[in-house]
């Protein structure tokens, strides 16, 4: 659908009290100017994730890993939420039972106003001590000299999930629990390549949810979708919601 006109079934589901689950990936931040991971111009095209996003990479070269994440944090701080983030924040306000499960670590959903959300892959704005595991929400800007250290003397690492690491269990369980009960699941801006996050739409579909995908490209999750919007989420999501009578703010 190129005009982003939702079906009557989708409008009804959006006007209902829920439960509604949204799963997002890097594509929802593309229109904010942040690179996705895969595909042309993606972060993993120019950088090998095994040297930047694994516990082994951090053990080998914490300085390099920190420079990569500091660069991404600077980019994220300079970016603004787009229509996709704003639409998902509007859904959070409009739907009685709602959860946003994001793989994104950039903080743009939070800045757009999403409250009921789980961060499946952590956050660029958190720090964790590799020695005592203390987590810090307050991000320190003065990370020099790299790598930063916790007061216990241990190295501080970015509070994100790396390849080979488990997801924050409670967050993943919350998403799966809602997937099992959801009437509607919106899957936006994810390639559906990284598990276990990519398993969530299948769980929902198996339990009878109406799955909708918003992505300019087909993905391994496309076959699960009853309805697909082939276009950028920042343009499509506000149009879909507004067609269902849910107002979306123009800026955060």
List of residues contacting ligand OAD (CB under 6 A): 25-28, 30-31, 36-38, 42, 49, 53, 103, 121, 161-163, 188-191, 193-194, 214-217, 219, 232-234
Tokens 């593309």: give the residue: 30
Distance CA(159)–CA(170), nearest Å, equals 16
Angle between the 233-243 and 83-94 helix axes, to the nearest 10 degrees? 30
Cβ-contact 21, 102 below 8 angstroms = no
- Shortest distance in whole angstroms from residue 152 CB to ligand OAD: 26
- Shortest distance in whole angstroms from residue 103 CB to ligand OAD: 4
Between 1 and 193, name the residue whose CB sits nearer to ligand OAD.
193
What CA–CA distances, in Å, run from 34 to 73, 76, 105, 120, 132? 11, 7, 11, 19, 32
- Shortest distance in whole angstroms from residue 161 CB to ligand OAD: 5
Between 18 and 189, name the residue whose CB sits nearer to ligand OAD.
189
Between 57 and 182, name the residue whose CB sits nearer to ligand OAD.
57
Which residues contact residue 64 at a Cβ distance below 8 angstroms, ignoring those fewer than 6 apart? 51, 52, 57
Choose, from 85, 121, 150, 223, the residue flagged as catalytic: 121
Between 129 and 188, name the residue whose CB sits nearer to ligand OAD.
188
Please say if 121 is a catalytic residue. yes
What's the order of all strands across the beta sheet hosting 135-136? Answer: 135-136, 122-129, 156-160
| Paired sense of beta strands 184-188 and 20-24, if any | parallel
Which residues contact residue 217 at a Cβ distance below 8 angstroms, ignoring those fewer than 6 apart? 39, 191, 230
3-state secondary structure at position 79: coil
- Shortest distance in whole angstroms from residue 43 CB to ligand OAD: 8
Residues with a catalytic annotation lie at 121
């Amino acid at each position: 659908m190129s005009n982003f006109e939702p079906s009557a079934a989708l409008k009804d589901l959006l006007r209902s009290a829920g439960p509604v689950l949204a799963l997002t990936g890097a594509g929802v931040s593309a229109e904010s100017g942040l690179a996705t991971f895969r595909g042309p111009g993606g972060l993993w095209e120019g950088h090998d994730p095994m040297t930047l996003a694994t516990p082994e990479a951090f053990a080998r070269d914490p300085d390099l890993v920190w420079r990569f994440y500091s660069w991404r944090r600077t980019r994220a701080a300079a970016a603004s939420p787009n229509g996709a983030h704003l639409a998902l924040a509007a859904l959070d306000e409009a739907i009685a039972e709602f959860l946003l499960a994001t793989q994104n670590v950039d903080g743009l959903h939070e800045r757009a106003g999403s409250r009921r959300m789980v961060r499946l892959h952590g956050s660029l704005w958190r720090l964790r001590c590799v020695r005592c595991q203390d987590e810090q929400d307050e991000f320190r800007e003065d990370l020099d000299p790299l790598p930063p250290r916790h007061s216990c003397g241990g190295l501080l690492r970015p509070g994100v999930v790396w390849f080979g690491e488990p997801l924050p269990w409670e967050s993943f369980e919350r998403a799966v629990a809602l997937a099992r009960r959801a009437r509607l699941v919106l899957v936006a801006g994810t390639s559906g390549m990284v598990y276990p996050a990519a398993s969530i739409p299948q769980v929902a579909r198996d339990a009878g949810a109406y799955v909708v995908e918003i992505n300019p490209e087909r993905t391994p999750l496309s076959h699960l979708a009853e309805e697909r919007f082939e276009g950028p989420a920042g343009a499509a999501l506000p149009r879909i919601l507004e067609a269902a009578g849910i107002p979306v703010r123009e800026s955060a």
